[in-house]
Amino acid sequence: MTRFAAPIAEQIWDMKYRFKEADGTPKDVTVEDTWRRIARDLAKVEQEPEVWEDHFYAALEDFKYLPAGRITAGAGTARSVTLFNCFVMGTIPDSMGGIFEMLKEAALTMQQGGGIGYDFSTIRPKGADVHGVAADASGPLSFMDVWDAMCRTIMSAGSRRGAMMATMRCDHPDVEDFIAAKSDPARLRMFNMSVLITDPFMEAVKADAPWDLEFDGKVYRTVQAVDLWNRIMQATYDYAEPGVIFIDRINAANNLNYCETIAATNPCGEQPLPPYGACLLGSINLARLVTEPFEDAAVLDEDALQELVATAVRMMDNVVDVSRFPLDPQAGEAQAKRRIGLGVTGLADALLMVGLRYGSDEAARQTQDWLRRIARAAYLASVQLAKEKGAFPLFDAEAYLASGTMQAMDDDLRDAVRKHGIRNALLTSIAPTGTISLYAGNVSSGIEPVFAYAYTRKVLQKDGSRTEEEVVDYAVNLWREKFGEAALPDHFVNAQTLAPADHVKMQAAAQKWVDSSISKTINCPEDISFDAFKDVYMQAWDTGCKGCTTYRPNAVTGSVLSVAEEKPAGDAPEVITSSDVEPATPHGDVIYMSEPLDRPSELEGNTYKVKWPDSEHALYITINDIVLGGHRRPFEVFINSKNMEHFAWTVALTRMISAVFRRGGDVSFVVEELKAVFDPRGGAWMQGKYIPSILAAIGGVIEQHMIATGFIAGEGMGLKSDPQAQVVGLDTSRGQACSSCGQYDLRMVEGCMTCGSCGYSKCG
């Protein structure tokens, strides 16, 4: 009998977390093997490993505790990868040598599978003097372009591209360029970006006061604070970036403000970290802890919660000792402070099960109470660990107790910390849980509302055919099991029907008892007015949030899979089909066709020569296009070379690419996949650019051909138009296709476009 609550859960496990040999042979035969592998690895540092292995297994069993994906995929595999999800890198020196040393560290970290965050505020602004060379500085944005190019060439462990976060202070002279950077869709695509907002700046905004932009004590110019704020708001209204991080509030509440200063976060923003800080993440699945769901006696089992939290804290603390680290300073930072980030997932489902409407005042109060209980249990468990194993090395009792978070803790807990110390400097964080939530049976993600009650996805079968499969929210599925097709109660709401103010209310309720931060997306309707949109951010500031990320679907950002309309209470649970999904661009992405295009007798095409350095023979790449509706789109590819070493893989490659092209759709993702292939033997410099592999060079040729024929808008950009839509006459009302699996199932999850079918996330 399967432990998986839904077919998609088993598919995610097989694709993402199941330990396999290099040839694909499963080492984890069942999901129980996966749980046992993780439990055994994390228990090996205990004095009684067999005892704790069983405790850890019990916590993992039935998806009650969900370690972050890198732990689930990597623990106990003996692979040389880090179990930490992401890092904030060292402070960037304002010198050429220092900048490129930081670039090297970033590359080494991303090679092991870690996402990274950087504060670029430490680099002098564009036009500033560069002493000793009689030149002007190029500014931080130019170096961010270098980071962006590096990220494109490196594939993270497990075929996941690295994710990056860039921050810049609101008083940096180049902050206006930083704010406007994402208006160019081809620039800085590998970055999430956020402005570090200070308390004095928010005071200046409210007072309509002037604001100095300065660096190293020199004021470069003065602007009106409200004008700069409006620039930030307009950019995120139009392009969904930059986000906003209330950095002074973060530092004031930090338990370690006596020994560190934070200026950056990990890529999704839930972990503000000091230089070389690492985020270690895991989530309590609240949906699995509700007893008698949907009944009058439905309640979260608080005794089970407390026990589960204590076990999870111990497991996470052990990760610090068993994990590898890309860099020695990262290991030193983690071991000195033993920071962990225990959070939750399935919150919205749990609220539904106990009869509460997400976004209501009562749901906010219940959320705050559950998070308080989790924080208290986590801190008490860490005190017990300190009694047994010792406090974190940089623990200073009086300084620690005087920090913002600790001042709100109960007196008995403060007394225990004062007497025994605490093992982990910070303990709570709410992370993006898009993929692990699917793995746990499609529970609601993090503290987000239910995205959709149900939707359909196409599943590729072994014989090449596709079948349709319904993906149902965990709570909705439980309702169906208990009550059949009875109407959903009125308190069932989803992300599409929720007011932005309700999103903020829930984030603020959770933030009160989270000592790090929260990754959450506040969904805004496309037709929200600019003034109402700005009010969302001001509400986030006024209610104590540490940051704010919104998503407003439009022609630039693209629409995500969404429910067309709210069904009345008497209707059955909504199933999303292709007609319920909004187009991503004014033209609409080209949809996949049920049958491949037939080949005309003649095609237009071009042949390109690629001479790879140190190779005796050149590659000749022919790309033929089909003309539909007066527009050219790629149809087939041929690669020829006299070098027989390449014969087999070039034939296979051309057949696969041509098969993809003939199916139609937005095939520009083929370029991105090829350009991201990294050859461990090294790449080559070609025409002034570093190309990480021969395959990347082929991808670049295909991309330039697509640009020349007008199929895509430019390097690193998507479709320029939709020539297929008018010709085929099929419904084009779909969102963007996932670049990993091709499914039209992208949605915004905690600030990152995430595929509901395969779990692929822009943020890694």
- The residues carrying an active-site annotation are 266, 268, 270
Strand partners, 264: 273
Can you point out the beta strands (E) in 448-561? 454-460, 466-472, 522-523, 547-548, 550-551
Which tokens go with 279? 């985020």
Q: What sign has the CA pseudo-torsion 302, 304, 307, 310?
A: negative
> What does the longest C-alpha to C-alpha distance in the chain come to?
84
Give residues with Cβ within 8 angstroms of 500, minimum separation 6: 522, 523, 524, 528, 532, 536, 550
Task: List phi, psi (to 5°) of 502.
Answer: -70, -35
Beta strands 160-161 and 218-224 are unpaired
User: Which H or E run contains 99?
Assistant: helix 96-111
Output the six-digit token pair for 299. 């309640």
* Single-letter amino acid, residue 43: A
8-state DSSP, 120: G
For residue 639, what are its two tokens?
A: 């690669």
Report the DSSP beta bridge partners of residue 283.
66, 343
Cα distance from N-terminal residue to C-terminal residue, the chain: 32
Residue of 753, 750, 725, 751 whose CA lies nearest to 739: 753
Measure the CA–CA gap between 426 and 281, rounded to whole angstroms: 12
**By CB neighbour count within 10 A (0-12 exposed, 13-18 middle, 19+ buried), where does 61 fall?**
middle
Using an 8 Å Cβ cutoff, are 637 and 716 in contact?
no
- Give me the sign of the Cα torsion angle 78, 81, 84, 90: positive
The Cα-based distances of 332 to 260, 348, 393, 748 in angstroms read: 14, 37, 11, 35
Helix (H) or strand (E) holding 725: helix 723-728
Q: What residue spans of 456-593 are helical by DSSP H?
A: 474-483, 500-511, 530-542
User: What SS3 state is found at 746?
Assistant: strand
**Residue 646 and residue 653: Cα distance in Å, rounded?**
10
Query: What interhelical angle do 140-153 and 96-111 show, nearest 10?
Result: 30
Rounded to whole angstroms, how far apart are CA atoms 397 and 685? Answer: 54
Helix ranges, 214-301 (H): 225-239, 247-253
Distance CA 314, CA 53 (A): 11
The SS3 call for residue 207 is helix
For 595, which DSSP code? S
DSSP string, 144-169: HHHHHHHHHH-EETTTEE--EEEEEE
Phi, psi of 545, rounded to the nearest 5 degrees:
-70, 155
